[in-house]
Structure 1
């Protein structure tokens, strides 16, 4: 099967799809206006077009048409309902699947009437839609009534990369003298790092009087880079917790498992989140999670079994959840074990690739019936 991916080559998720499909035996072609930022498997055909920015999605149409006429793929899979979805609609090659990612559904349409119109038009033009989660599929259907299937195609996690078995100290934590709470996310407002910092400060303040033995062990580790760094550093200083908060900075994707392995508890208090790959990575790393009840995050967590789900923007609830795990470390080990098994049962990468290929086959077969 020949498949063309029309997507951003700068995204690790694009590259993982390309590599995974190629490793499964498909003939994969990747067309992008974004520069390649990660390693592609040998044998994948890569086209980086010179067009850039919003206008580039329109200017690249003729070039993409030419490539498609030469290759004659069995199917095209465009990723992102705004940019590459626009290119795919204008190219008008069928069959094609439009994969929605998150901000293209949750945020982009809210910018203006024009933005919403564009996404709706792109969704209607595709032969089928693919969504990483059920919540985003529901949001997609709220934008426009679709008389076509929405396939659920979750990002899978590489077992060989993220799987570990944790060993806890006698205290019940990873280290005898330290309890590490943290996150691995870009420092953007949407990911609620400020909420995490405020909740951690509240936890520390409360334990100072109720469990000083635990309070002195607390530390917060924030891994990631972004425009919010200085603002968050000032927040930490204002809350007088600079001595126990570490900003690690951005790390490469292959360093993420090592960073996760340093955390007793992973916290994601996102204000918007389409799916939550980081939650899967943490779970497979045998790290219990605390997440906000937004977007696709609650789909990935079994409340009070693999982690804890808290109300969005509720600092008090987040602090209480952290306190529960800190005071009862046996829950950390229990949730961690359950989380890892839940990911192994439902979200390993090989299953995701197999699922995507079956979606391709279904859409191709359906297009032949229509002809």
Structure 2
């Protein structure tokens, strides 16, 4: 299959989809106005760097993309991100096209103004079919375009060979709680720090309890000050942002994973799925997208958002019960293997491509007509 991905090449998610499709034997071109500095490798996809940048680039690059698509004649155009690249794709007029929504493009962008809402609906309507990483986002996207076919659900998969429990974890008297997320207010890292203070105060014994915060962002200084204010400077470590290749090792150093988002919805809990793949029990807030990938009481706990007390109680129950940690971690690993294994998710995406081609009514022939 000849596939063009119109997407930010700088995103690890774009890179994973593209590399996975190439490994399957598909011919892949990534068209982007966000090139990556150290990707792809020599055996990876071809990258077409569109010349214009910024918000205007999504409009100005459309005729360039149209010419490239007519010359390349892919079987399908898979557009990632409905508001920006979705505009470029819609103006190119190419079909068949599968538009994959990412989150803020359908949750936040249309709230900006009536013009943005109209532009988003135009982009969604221009696509042959739609895709979403989660069921909750699929339902929301369909609500923006009544009468359209239900979006395909194509989760971000996890490489369960890389993201796996440690086989040689040294025994420890301590418990390490952790999160991996950018440090923005919407992700509720302050809630986690306040909850952790309650955990330290209420723990059954004097075991070594630590919190590891992996990620960077504009809230870091404020969060470090909060930890100091709560007397946690010696037991909270801010590690900063790490390359994605280092995330499995970090997760294997943890005993409990927490995602304390305060958003109404997140597109998909990929960090939570990665933690579960590594055999960790997870505690998440009742945010749609996160709670979708956690079975409450089985693979972890789901607690009310913006509630440090409820979060602390859930974490504390795991701190004090290593057998429960092991049970939930094992259940989480099994769930990931059954639902979110990377190869399974690639199968799902390729099936969505074929269904989109079939829906266009042209088999494997594509049209470049505007």
CA gap of 1:130–1:286, structure 2 versus 1, over 3 A, is: same
Query: C-alpha displacement at 1:115, in angstroms?
Result: 2.2
Query: C-alpha displacement at 1:348, in angstroms?
Result: 0.5
Is 2:308 the partner of 1:315?
Answer: yes
Q: What is the TM-score of this pair, normalised by structure 1?
A: 0.94
C-alpha contact 2:82 2:101 (8 A) present in aligned 1: yes
Match of 1:203 among 199, 202, 216: 199
C-alpha contact 1:10 1:38 (8 A) present in aligned 2: no
Query: C-alpha displacement at 1:367, in angstroms?
Result: 1.1
C-alpha contact 2:19 2:44 (8 A) present in aligned 1: no
Is 2:102 the partner of 1:101?
Answer: yes
Is 2:228 the partner of 1:231?
Answer: no
> Which moves more between the two structures, 147-156 or 110-119?
110-119
> Which moves more between the two structures, 160-169 or 264-273?
160-169
Q: Which has the higher helix share?
A: 1
**Deviation string for 1:236-261 (max 9, x for gaps)?**
11111111100001111110001101
Distance 2:205 2:140 in 1: 45
Q: What is the TM-score of this pair, normalised by structure 2?
A: 0.94
Query: C-alpha displacement at 1:123, in angstroms?
Result: 1.1
Is 2:27 the partner of 1:34?
Answer: no
1:182 match: secondary structure: strand
1:81 match: secondary structure: coil
Distance 2:118 2:46 in 1: 33
Match of 1:295 among 281, 288, 301: 288
Distance 2:186 2:66 in 1: 36
Query: C-alpha displacement at 1:166, in angstroms?
Result: 5.1
Query: C-alpha displacement at 1:279, in angstroms?
Result: 0.8
Q: Which residue of 1 aligns with 2:47?
A: 46
CA gap of 1:98–1:127, structure 2 versus 1, over 3 A, is: same
Is 2:13 the partner of 1:25?
Answer: no
Distance 1:146 1:97 in 2: 17
Query: C-alpha displacement at 1:98, in angstroms?
Result: 0.5
**Deviation string for 1:193-217 (max 9, x for gaps)?**
111111111222233xxx2424xx1
C-alpha contact 2:177 2:257 (8 A) present in aligned 1: yes
Q: Which residue of 1 aligns with 2:165?
A: 164
Which structure is higher in RCO with an 8 Å CA cutoff and minimum separation 6? 2
Q: Which residue of 1 aligns with 2:188?
A: 192
Q: Which residue of 2 aligns with 1:5?
A: 5
Aligned-residue CA RMSD (Å) = 1.6
Q: Which residue of 2 aligns with 1:88?
A: 89
Q: Which runs of 5+ in 2 are unaligned?
A: none
C-alpha contact 1:201 1:239 (8 A) present in aligned 2: yes
C-alpha contact 2:166 2:252 (8 A) present in aligned 1: no
Between the two proteins, the alignment pairs up a number of residues equal to 361
Match of 1:362 among 352, 355, 368: 355
Matches within 5 A, 1:345-356: 345-356=338-349
Matches within 5 A, 1:241-252: 241-252=232-243
Q: Which residue of 1 aligns with 2:250?
A: 259
**Deviation string for 1:2-27 (max 9, x for gaps)?**
11000000100000000111111111
CA gap of 1:238–1:112, structure 2 versus 1, over 3 A, is: farther
Q: Which runs of 5+ in 1 are unaligned?
A: none
**Deviation string for 1:162-220 (max 9, x for gaps)?**
11245677xxxx522x211010111112211111111111222233xxx2424xx1111
